[in-house]
Structure 1
Amino acid sequence: MEGRIKCKHVLSSEPQLSQSCKLSRPCCADSRSLLSSKAPQVSGVRVQLEMHALWQQFDRLGTEMIVTKAGRRMFPTFQVHISGMDPASEYVLLMDFILVDDKRYRYAFHSSSWLVAGKADAAAPSRMHFHPDSPARGAQWMKQTVSFDTLKLTNNLLDDNGHMILNSMHRYQPRFHVVYVDPGPNSHLNAHKNFCSFSFPETRFMAVTAYQNHRITQLKIASNPFAKGFRTSDTQDW
């Protein structure tokens, strides 16, 4: 799996993570059998992570993402460029988040590092976030960057706003899914053939209710154009 995007048969919750780089190889490129088992509308799809260098900067420090009761947007925003779609076919794009491991963490300020604090809490309700432009033709998805800027993270287990529910102090891997909208009468029989899943290790993050690593705070303020006000004010709330 080294250096490639892995395509999965099902939208499983298992943390089978790819080792992708800036530009993914064709979906299922690591297995001829997997490639042949997918519909031609998805078998050639490639996905490139936008703002790759920035994601790497955060990853080197240990990316943290704020979760709140009301829901908080991600920064960096998950954005991708897609190629290899059938321009005339319709696709649905969606995301979910899976646990990287079965551990709960705490931040050790004296060593500026994350330490295992015990077993993971009970899993939060599993949800999918559909891109609001879905469904759309491949030509539309491929002509511009696809941004999940409306996606919000929450720790409210009773959330009814459709936000992604995560447990604080747990580590997550975002996953991106491309689903071909099969117009055939028996499309449900081919559901396993009509999608492909992508993940980028540099987008992993720790869910937190407040930033623990001050270097993450500084990088977010320096990199986020919407954090302009925090650059000249007290960063305690940020």
Structure 2
Amino acid sequence: MMTFSRFMRYGMTTAILTTAVSIPAIAFVGQDPTIIQQSCQLTQVSARLGPDGSTHYSILGTCNGSSISGELAYASNHQTAEKFSYRGAQFTTRAICPEDPWISSTTCEDQQVIAKGADPGSLLQFPVPLSRHVVRSSEVFQHAKTHATKPNPPGPPVKARAEIRFGRNTTVFWLGPGQEGQFGPYLNFVVEARPKGAEGAAWTSLGGTKRHTAPDYRLSVKLPEPIAG
């Protein structure tokens, strides 16, 4: 988890507004038991990680004497999708997989397959994802994932401020950060607070909100009790 924060001090409390982006841990979870060396000459197998923890693969090359190219994706909610061309046919599939199917031998459920163009032959007899049965090597995808590009961390919230309405009831206002240059995408915001001057105290989560299309945000929270003395 990478976070960027904006501090606000008011009254007896210091608050922190945090922008968070999730980066998954990368681990090898298995391998396809059938690996045929030299069956594919791939000029590109690259991977990039999304801010939501998803993995996106791009493939390009030749397998079994036919060109192959496409985009493959595995999301943190276990949804799997692929769209690729092979032997004159275009394949689009979706499924639910407990693990990344391109680096494991996991079995997927709720499979949906669309094939257009030339006769795909026996490939449609295999379980989704179909591209796994063309490339037939989890090692190339594991290598790509290990060296995957990662999104830049998000920027800090802009013009963050807080208004105490009555008692400890407070409304926090801010603008979403930019995503240009060194700053990457963001998913949500979390507002945390601790008593003013209590640098060693733990932060208390007051609530949060997901990213939306409007640039401005506001969140009503209740501040924690001040420390006596």
Greater RCO, CA 8 A, separation 6+: 1
User: TM-score with structure 1 length normalisation?
Assistant: 0.27
Greater Rg by CA:
2
Structure having the higher helix fraction is 1
User: TM-score with structure 2 length normalisation?
Assistant: 0.28
